[in-house]
A and B are shown apart, each in its own frame.
Chain A
Amino acid sequence: MYKILEKKILNKDVTKMIIDAPLVAKRCEAGQFIILRAKDDSERIPLTINDYDRKKGTISIVFQVVGEATIELNKLCEGDEIETFVGPLGKKTDLDGLKKAIVIGGGLGSAIAYPLAKAMKEKGIDVTSICGFRNKDLIILEDEFKKVSNKLIITTDDGSNGIKGFVTDRLEELLKVGSDYDAVYVIGPLIMMKFVSLLTLKYNLKTIVSMNPLMVDGTGMCGGCRLTYDGKIKFACVDGPDFDGHKVDFDEAIYRNNIYKDFERKRKEDCNLLK
């Protein structure tokens, strides 16, 4: 069992938890994920690691309360225990040879982009962060990003805070100026990662996306997380989660992500917890 040491509501849909998991904290790196089950009969869900403290042996996770599994998780309080918490899974983000980079986080993706920006900062890499949210009420981790970014741009779709528009608009502005970026790292909804990748392809700029498909075990056993990469089947859990965004078949990833939407709809109808 894995104790919840701290729980913080970041906005109405997003919660942060700090979990006591010394074995996971011992070796985890930015870009890796964990799989958890809140309770004994809960579904296994993957969540990317938001932060870690090796000395304290803790892992921080940030999750959006969207489906049954995250609702169950969000019902747990400080002092409660999580049934299953396994990791670190997947490969760490490769930052070798990087001098200047752009980190893009979309919505909840910002929670995962944050440890990446932090890792870059620690390595002395010049970091420009672009964080996009639907509106001002959904902005998370702004202070944290400020600390680790040489430049931080916040955008909102409706202009209620920061600059109005999508992250791609701000990215294009940066790229038009033609600064010497080595790479773009983008974490967020599939559709956002797709359009960022399409844009950077025009500028021939290396782009790393973090895929977060459905999976069961997270160790290469189920193959549910497979995606087409450069024409070949890859498993996001063991080959990723980071991939070159220019080689990922996003349209396929988008429809594969919806495979259980009927099940989820039916659970919502049947289950009082979800009403």
Chain B
Amino acid sequence: MNSEKKVEMRVLDPEYRRHSIDEVSLGYSKDEALIEASRCLNCKNKPCVQGCPVNIDIPAFIKKIKEEKFDEALTIIEKESSLSRICGRVCPQESQCEKYCVRGIKGESLAIGRLERFVSDNVIKNNNNIDIVKNGKKVAIIGSGPSGLSCSYDLIKLGYDVTIYEALHLNGGVLIYGIPEFRLPKKIVSDEIDKLKNLGVKFINNCVIGKTLLLSDLINDYDAIFIGSGAGLPRFMNIPGENLNGVLSANEFLTRFNLMKAYLENAKTPIFKAKKYAVVGGGNVAMDAARCALRLGASEVHIIYRRSMNEIPARLEEVIHAKEEGIIFDTLVLPVEIIGDENHYVSKINCVRMELGEHDESGRRSPVEIPDSLFSIDCDAVIMAIGTSPNPLLKETSEGLITNKRGCLVVNEDTLETSIENVYAGGDAVTGAATVILACGSGKKAAEHINEKLSKRG
């Protein structure tokens, strides 16, 4: 065995998965997990932990895997993260924990994410034996996405009465409407939600805070509020042709695909099916949209990204999987106009080529247009996956709730309290579009500070 390399994770055959929504990555077997865990050097200073947004004691849980005490491994993970089955699948480990792994200096870092997934998939834990002593205080959570779920988990265990308000008919936020089945099976999300329900967390669906109820209604009825409403407002490029038929936000395309299950043969919700799709953007959402398009039967799917493969922000595994499935990457390319046919349906997208120039404020080299490089890509659908902003509904209807110029809620960085007392916020609503694990971390942190403040009040 070559200890410089990770134990490979088995995946479905790319040819098969182009037409299937089955989960692509199959996870480790026990033997594979034990071999991989044996690669951990158990460093004293635990460099990996500093890369984890929720500070999971990584060497400790891996030691338990080595000892085949998988339930104890899970207990260590769950001290910090309530959504490990999800995060083991969707965390960008290569830029977090695994980035700091000493193994990575000479070879490949330890497959921490795959081991986390192995543990959480293989230990069936019964939450019913958690002893909860009710403290009589009530907390409302706005949004059932990762930050709200993780906040609810910590608060319910501390004895709070927790109610989550969700605008959509299903719970999970981006885990349900955004991330596709083949990357995160919806059964896992609903299992996690059921766990919370069993602990006593209440969910109120079809309730838009800022419309159905106002933040002020919740302030009257609860001791504290956590806003985890995410960043759901899609951005467009503001180029000509963007309102042609066949141009969709990734949000719309993914919501139809995932939440409304429009990929099913007999789905009642329509989805725009095309032969050739162009997906604009280089993040996880772009990869998801491109791979969903393939699964709808597209013959050709392009990812159009204005920087180079080195800057692509998507999780490494998704980029690899997308390439294996035959997605075409057009990098250093910027769309300038979408052209339609006589019936106003998309027929092609005009682009220019870019080269990398000076470093910008993000630390990346910024793309600069190459003169006279105009060309076009034939396509009959364009999906815009260039980012999202927080939804302004809540701010518009909540007096005193302060946001920054990007529409993100302004919070005290230490406590996550917003400009309104006893109203806290976290996740994408504060940071703008980011990762599931960062959202989980902030939900957890808010729970800690809500508890600190409300306990003092007695």
Residues of A within 8 A of B248 (CB): 223-224
Q: Are A223 and B234 in contact (CB under 8 A)?
A: yes
- Interface range for B: 35 or more
B263 to chain A, nearest CB (A): 13
Q: Is B96 an interface residue (CB 8 A)?
A: no
Residues of B within 8 A of A252 (CB): 243, 344
Q: Are B169 and A37 in contact (CB under 8 A)?
A: yes
User: How far does the alpha carbon of A44 sit from the alpha carbon of B168 in the complex, in Å?
Assistant: 10
Q: Is B11 an interface residue (CB 8 A)?
A: no
> Which B residue sits closest to A38, measured CB to CB?
B268
Q: Is B152 an interface residue (CB 8 A)?
A: no
Q: Is A264 an interface residue (CB 8 A)?
A: yes
Q: Is A233 an interface residue (CB 8 A)?
A: yes
Question: In chain A between 25 and 70, which residues have their CB closer than 8 angstroms to a CB of chain B?
Answer: 27, 37, 41-44, 68-69
Q: Are A220 and B243 in contact (CB under 8 A)?
A: no
User: How far does the alpha carbon of A69 sit from the alpha carbon of B269 in the complex, in Å?
Assistant: 9
User: How far does the alpha carbon of A216 sit from the alpha carbon of B169 in the complex, in Å?
Assistant: 12
Q: Is B208 an interface residue (CB 8 A)?
A: yes
Contact among B168, B261, B270, B343 for A264, CB-based, below 8 A: B270
Q: Are B252 and A216 in contact (CB under 8 A)?
A: yes
Question: In chain A between 224 and 261, which residues have their CB closer than 8 angstroms to a CB of chain B?
Answer: 224, 226-228, 233, 238, 252, 255-256, 258-260
User: How far does the alpha carbon of A112 sit from the alpha carbon of B269 in the complex, in Å?
Assistant: 25
Q: Are A260 and B233 in contact (CB under 8 A)?
A: no
Q: Are B270 and A219 in contact (CB under 8 A)?
A: no
Q: Are B268 and A222 in contact (CB under 8 A)?
A: no
> Which A residue sits closest to B259, measured CB to CB?
A216
- Interface range for A: 35 or more
> Which B residue sits closest to A252, measured CB to CB?
B243
Known contacts A69-B268, A220-B232, A255-B344; A227 and B243 CB within 8 A of each other: yes
Residues of A within 8 A of B234 (CB): 221-223
Q: Is A217 an interface residue (CB 8 A)?
A: yes
> Which A residue sits closest to B232, measured CB to CB?
A221
Known contacts A23-B212, A256-B243, A256-B245; A216 and B270 CB within 8 A of each other: no
Q: Is B116 an interface residue (CB 8 A)?
A: no
Known contacts A37-B169, A219-B232, A263-B270; A88 and B211 CB within 8 A of each other: yes
Residues of B within 8 A of A216 (CB): 252, 255-256, 259-260, 269
B425 to chain A, nearest CB (A): 18
Residues of B within 8 A of A85 (CB): 206
User: How far does the alpha carbon of A217 sit from the alpha carbon of B259 in the complex, in Å?
Assistant: 10
Q: Are A233 and B236 in contact (CB under 8 A)?
A: yes
Q: Is A161 an interface residue (CB 8 A)?
A: no
Q: Are B252 and A224 in contact (CB under 8 A)?
A: yes
User: How far does the alpha carbon of A220 sit from the alpha carbon of B213 in the complex, in Å?
Assistant: 17
Q: Are B252 and A223 in contact (CB under 8 A)?
A: yes
Per-position binary interface string of chain B over residues 251-265, scored 1 when its CB falls under 8 Å from any chain A CB and 0 otherwise: 110011001110000
Q: Are A220 and B269 in contact (CB under 8 A)?
A: no
B445 to chain A, nearest CB (A): 26
Contact among A23, A69, A233 for B207, CB-based, below 8 A: A23
Q: Are A86 and B167 in contact (CB under 8 A)?
A: yes
Q: Is B249 an interface residue (CB 8 A)?
A: yes
Can you list 10 A-B contacts (CB < 8 A)? A44-B169, A84-B169, A84-B206, A85-B206, A220-B391, A222-B255, A223-B249, A224-B248, A226-B243, A228-B243
**Which 5 pairs, one residue from A and one from B, show the smallest C-beta to C-beta distance?**
A222-B252, A263-B270, A86-B206, A260-B270, A223-B249
